[in-house]
Structure 1
Amino acid sequence: MHELGMVTGVVESVRQAAEANHADKVLKVSLSVGEMTEAIEDALTFAYEAITDNDPLFSGSKLDITMVPPKSRCVECGHEFTHDRFHVMCPECGGFADLIEGKELRIDSIEVDIPDENEE
């Protein structure tokens, strides 16, 4: 279950950003995950919940995941196309293609609660 390792890295990055900005609470984490990482969305959610379950900084936070389909560019004709995991030949000319999207793991946004400096 490599999703656990992926989410552990995400949680640590979010923690660093939240602490650097003096956040009291993480409300939402939005990720883009490429389908070619072979990560399973439900497994990512389960790992996030397991890691953050007893963590006051993340208590009640939501994980929003956008799965990114594979997209490639033909090295012969330059045509860009989306495809599944197995059919990566160019549909225009039959040439080989380079993957340009679908292998990423990106934190798109983090929503946090930052205390008002005027509150006592």
Structure 2
Amino acid sequence: MHELGIIVHVMRTVEEVAAENNLTEIRSVTCEIGEVSGVVPEYMIDCWGYARSRSELLKDSELKIEIIPGVTMCEDCGKTYSTVQYAKICPHCGSSATYLLEGNGFSIKEIEGA
């Protein structure tokens, strides 16, 4: 389960940002997770519940998750399509000359604190 490692990294990053901005409490952390990133949102939430109990700064915080859709671009026809629905084959022209545009990343989008 690599989600716990990701959560540990997120917590360290949030704690650094809090220290730089003199925050004493974190209310929520919003993460963007790519639909085809391999990160399981439910596991992230479970790991957050465990990890936040170990941090005074994050103990009452909420983890919010936004899913970024997987979008693939076809090099032959120039159109985009849903990666999850059609995978590697372009539904517009049938080409396999495609590449992933977005949807495989992970980022901290927002930190709400006081």
* 2-structure distance, mates of 1:80, 1:59: 42
TM-score when normalising by structure 1: 0.87
TM-aligned CA deviation for residue 54 of structure 1:
2.6
* 2-structure distance, mates of 1:9, 1:75: 36
Q: Structure 2: 5+ residue runs without aligned partners?
A: none
Amino acid paired to 2:99: D
* Alpha-carbon contact 1:70-1:85 (below 8 Å) kept: no
Q: 1:18 maps to what in 2?
A: 18
Among all aligned residue pairs of Structure 1 and Structure 2, give the percentage whose two residues are the same amino acid. 27
Count, aligned residues: 113
2:57 is paired with a residue whose SS is coil
Amino acid paired to 2:57: L
* Alpha-carbon contact 1:70-1:103 (below 8 Å) kept: yes
TM-aligned CA deviation for residue 5 of structure 1:
1.2
TM-score when normalising by structure 2: 0.91
Q: 2:105 maps to what in 1?
A: 104
* Alpha-carbon contact 1:36-1:85 (below 8 Å) kept: no
* Alpha-carbon contact 1:72-1:98 (below 8 Å) kept: yes
Q: 2:47 maps to what in 1?
A: 47
* 2-structure distance, mates of 1:32, 1:17: 18
Q: 1:27 maps to what in 2?
A: 27
Please list the CA deviations of residues 26-54 of structure 1 after superposition, one character each: whole Å capped at 9, or x if unmatched.
11000110121222111000111111113
Q: Structure 1: 5+ residue runs without aligned partners?
A: 114-120
* 1-structure distance, mates of 2:44, 2:86: 23
Amino acid paired to 2:106: L
